[in-house]
Structure formats: structure tokens, C-alpha cells
Amino acid sequence: METRALRYFHSVAEFGSYSRAAEVLRISQPAVSRQVRGLENSLGQKLFLRQSHGVSLTEAGRTLLERTRMILRQFDQTEHEIRRGQVHASGTVTLGVPPAAGNMLVPELTRRLSAAFPNVFLHVVAGFSLYLQEWVARGRVDVACLHDPVPHPGFTLTPLVNEEVFLVGRRGALDVPTGYVRARQLAELPLILPAQPNASRRLLDAWLARQGTRLNVRMEVDDHMIIRALLREGLGFSLLTQGAFLADMPLGTLDAWPLRPRASWGLTLMQQPPERQSAIAASLAGMIPAVVRDLVRDGHWPGAALIEGTGRVAARSSEGKAPDLLSEK
């Protein structure tokens, strides 16, 4: 298989169209078709199914796409290092984070990574944990911090912090004389939450089930920025960690009330298996627990508590599971 053919195949798969791939690659569509057809002939398998609106991957095509992403990333990194004649680490590493946790973690992590590895390019992908875990498994993301991961054989899971969850709503929308909200009171409030099977929603549902409370979900929104916009308009309440709403508090638009019993969910570091992990990705993953620990201890990650043993491997296979949502009186 030639690298050029793999790049053309990758572009067609990503855009679902030969014409769009040719446009992005700035070559003719027949040239793209010819390379992909040659790849199919060499493999003896059809990679795409033609449809009226473009193409879709066959099972063989999906398998090749997963491998191609890793192959091309490693090839580009190697080429970059050799061309520049560098003895120091260089290339690109991709980090996946939930948006709220990313607000707390990424700035300091970026500073330290840039200081230690000035030739490394960091690509940050923000998304809900369900998608991040899939992207790590498929090789699209090198390292991820996520909530409630499902252990995969060979992948490393390292517990980091527990983030406290608050009820959040428009300033003055709720009278809370005690300063906190009981779990049973949530049943009376119109809530705006991410949809199942989002990890935070799954954890919240499980926690409230243990409290004997059912949520009154009026709307499901899979984007924290939109959720906060709805909250500012007084259209409901949500359950969020401080990383999701902290920037709004000085503006006087939102209020946040702690829950009783307290609720929190754990943030876990997930890495590729060692044989698939680049040296840069390993360095980034090794840096994250120390950054998290310093942010929490210095008071720069409000609402977060270190998980005992942060920095140790918690699970390397399906035999273990990182901590999920906790509650306490």
C-alpha cells in the first residue's frame, strides 16, 4: 500500500465524497478514484459503497480507516522529525477533554508542554466522554480525560479528580434559604441536561436513583454553551461542575447551589496501549496527573478533589473500572 493511496482513501472516507476529497486535496477527481481503485485491487476488497449522496464505507473500509489514521499520524511525525534533523521530540499529539474539565486543565497543561517540548504541536479536541472514548479506541485521539470510561483491554485508565456537581440556574430564579438543594427537590425543577448515553447524564441518573428521586427533564442539549444560554434566559436549571459555569459567575447572570447529599463525578485519564502510543503521547499522558494535582492543591481547580493515588494506573483491562459518581452526606 502506498502512502498517497492511503491519504486519498482517508480523505474520501472523512468527507464521504470523491468530489469533496478531490477539492480539499486540490487534485482531479479521476486521480482520487484511480488511487482508491488501485488500493481496492491490491487488497482484494471493496472499500466504499456508492450512494446517491456520496459514498459510505464497507466493513473492510471501516477497518482500514481505523488503521490509516494511526499510520498517517506516525508517518507524518517521523517525517517531520527526520526532515528537521531534530533530536528532541516533535510532531503532533491529540488530547481529548470534556469542555468543562478542559477549561481548568488545558491552559496550564499547554504551558508546561510548550516549555518541555517546544517543537510539539498540541491538538485539543473537546467533546462529551462517550465520543472521546470512542475516538481514543479508534486512534483519532492519543490521550483523553473523560468521565466514567468503560475499560478496554490494553488501554490504561488513571483516576485524576472528583468534580463536585452543582444545580445552576438564572440569578434569583430559586429561593434557597439553606444555601443548598436537596436531591428530592430536583424532581420539582425543569432541568436541561445532556441526553443519554452521555456519561454525566448516566452518572446523574444513577445517583438520583439511589436517592429515590426521578429527574424532571424538560429539554436535552448536548452542548454546555447552549445549556448556559438557556439558563441565562431562565428557561430551566442544569447540573454542572464549576468548570462549566465559573466564567459566568462574575457576570451576575447565573447562580449555583451545592447539592445535599453532595454529588461528584470522577475524571479519568485514558491512554492508548503502550505498543500503539507514541513517545510524545506518553510524555503528555505522564504530565497530566502532575498538572491536575498542582491545580487542585493550589486552589486553581475549584470544586475538584484529588482521587487518592492520583497518578497511579487504576485499570489496564476490563478487569477494573475507574471511580464514577460519588455521594456523601
CATH of the domain at 34: 1.10.10.10
| Predicted pLDDT at 1 | 66
pLDDT tens for each residue of the chain, 329 residues long: 678 888 899 999 989 999 999 998 889 999 999 999 999 998 899 999 988 788 999 999 988 888 887 777 767 766 666 666 554 566 788 999 998 999 999 999 999 999 988 888 899 999 888 889 988 988 889 999 999 888 888 899 999 999 999 999 999 999 998 989 998 898 899 999 988 877 878 888 888 888 888 888 999 998 889 999 999 999 999 999 999 998 889 999 999 999 998 888 899 999 988 888 888 899 999 999 999 999 999 999 999 999 876 544 444 333 334 444 554 44
| Predicted pLDDT at 309 | 60
| Predicted pLDDT at 53 | 82
Ranges assigned E (strand) in the chain: 48-51, 54-57, 91-97, 120-126, 143-147, 156-170, 181-182, 191-193, 217-220, 238-241, 254-260, 262-271, 304-306, 326-328
Same domain, 43 and 109: no
- Domain of residue 105 covers 91-329
Same domain, 61 and 112: no
**Cβ–Cβ under 8 Å, residues 159 and 320:** no
Is this structure's pTM higher than 0.85? no
Encoded amino acid at 83, one letter:
R
Same domain, 181 and 199: yes
Same domain, 96 and 143: yes
CA 328 from chain centre, in angstroms, equals 27
Please, which residues have CB within 8 angstroms of residue 50's CB and are 6 or more apart in sequence? none
Same domain, 69 and 133: no
Structural domain ending residue among the three candidates 27, 53, 82: 82
For cell 444545580, the residue is 167
Number of H helices, E strands in the chain: 10, 14
Whichever domain contains 230, its CATH number is 3.40.190.290
Task: Report the distance separating Cα 1 and Cα 213, nearest Å.
Answer: 57
| Predicted pLDDT at 310 | 54
**Cβ–Cβ under 8 Å, residues 168 and 237:** yes
Task: Report the distance separating Cα 201 and Cα 81, nearest Å.
Answer: 43
Structural domain ending residue among the three candidates 25, 51, 82: 82
Same domain, 54 and 176: no
Structural domain ending residue among the three candidates 41, 60, 82: 82
Same domain, 49 and 114: no
Q: Output the CA torsion 274→277→282→284 (10° steps).
A: -150
Same domain, 36 and 120: no
Could you give the angle at which helices 99-116 and 279-297 cross, rounded to 10 degrees?
A: 120
Same domain, 241 and 160: yes
Burial class (CB in 10 A: 0-12, 13-18, 19+), 33: middle
Same domain, 77 and 98: no
Same domain, 276 and 130: yes
Same domain, 66 and 199: no
Task: Report the distance separating Cα 215 and Cα 225, nearest Å.
Answer: 21
What is the count of structural domains for the chain? 2
Task: Report the distance separating Cα 10 and Cα 16, nearest Å.
Answer: 10
**Cβ–Cβ under 8 Å, residues 277 and 156:** no
